[in-house]
Structures are given as C-alpha cells and as structure tokens.
Amino acid sequence: MEDVKIRLTVSWLFIAISMTANTILYFTVPGIIDEIMTGKIVGIQTEPELILVMAVAYFWIPLVMTLLSVTLKDKINYWINIIFGAFYTVFVLFELLMNVTTVAYPYVILLDTSVIIVAIMIVRNAWKWKRQLIN
C-alpha cells in the first residue's frame, strides 16, 4: 500500500512542478510581460478572483495532493486521487486544446501532454489500488 502512496505523491509532485515550469516558460514568450503589465493574461482581464482560481488550479491543488497522498487514510485517498486525477486529465486536456488552436508553443505541448499522461497514471494507480484494498 505504501508503494502506491509514494507513486501517487511523486506523480502529484511531477504535476505541480510541470505546471509551475509551464507558467514560468510562458513569461519568456515575447510580448507576454507587456500584456501582463496591461492587466491581461491570454487576452483576459486579470481580476483578483481569476488569479486566485489560477493559483488554486495550477499550484495549490497539486501541492496539497502531494501531502494528502501520503497522509490520508487509504479509502479516502483512493477516492480523492481518482477525482482530482480525472479533473486534471480533463482540465489540462482542455488547456492543451485551447493552446494548440491558438498558438502551439512546443513547450506547452510537451508539458501539458506529460501532465495529462501522469494524471491518467494517477487515476490508474488509484483504481488498481482499490483491488488491493478489497483483497
């Protein structure tokens, strides 16, 4: 059981670091800093609520999941990893599709695809864990 918890924790850490790297690399795109200085991100006006949602979705949840994956009781851990793993699969897939249809930066394709694969692995590992919990 502990092996599954370690795999889940490392997977969430991978997602947290990948999403952070994706954000940092975004700042290197020519013209982005100027756009941010005008109060916009990807053409959307930045409001405190938007920045809070981005902080929670991009950074806080993956980091909290690294902690919860090693500390929660097995049954709760199983469900929360399936729910958030599925959420990140869809969330980042949607982000990837939006980016590919506008401007396809190679680093975005690489990092988002990696996050999607790891999020699917989280769901798969948690799902397989259920069989171990029952036996």
Instruction: Give the tens place of pLDDT for each residue, 68-90.
Output: 999 999 889 999 999 999 999 99
Phi, psi of 44 (to 5 degrees): -100, 130
1 pLDDT more than 80: no
Whole-model pTM over 0.95: no
Instruction: Report pLDDT for 2.
Output: 67
Element (H, E) at 45: strand 44-45
- Write the DSSP assignment of 73-132 as a string of letters: -HHHHHHHHHHHHHHHHHHHHHHHHHHHHH---HHHHHHHHHHHHHHHHHHHHHHHHHHH
Q: Where are the domains of the chain?
A: 2-134
Q: What is the pLDDT of residues 9-64, one digit of tens each?
A: 999 999 999 999 999 998 898 988 998 889 888 778 889 999 999 999 999 999 99
CA–CA gap between residue 100 and residue 110 (Å, rounded): 11
Instruction: Report pLDDT for 104.
Output: 75
**pLDDT, greater one: 78 or 101:** 78
Could you tell me the pLDDT band of residue 131, with boundaries at 50, 70 and 90?
A: low
Q: Is beta strand 40-41 parallel, antiparallel or unpaired with respect to 44-45?
A: antiparallel
CA–CA gap between residue 10 and residue 78 (Å, rounded): 15
Could you tell me the pLDDT band of residue 133, with boundaries at 50, 70 and 90?
A: low
15 Cβ partners below 8 Å, 6+ apart? 62, 65, 88, 115, 118, 119
6 Cβ partners below 8 Å, 6+ apart? 70
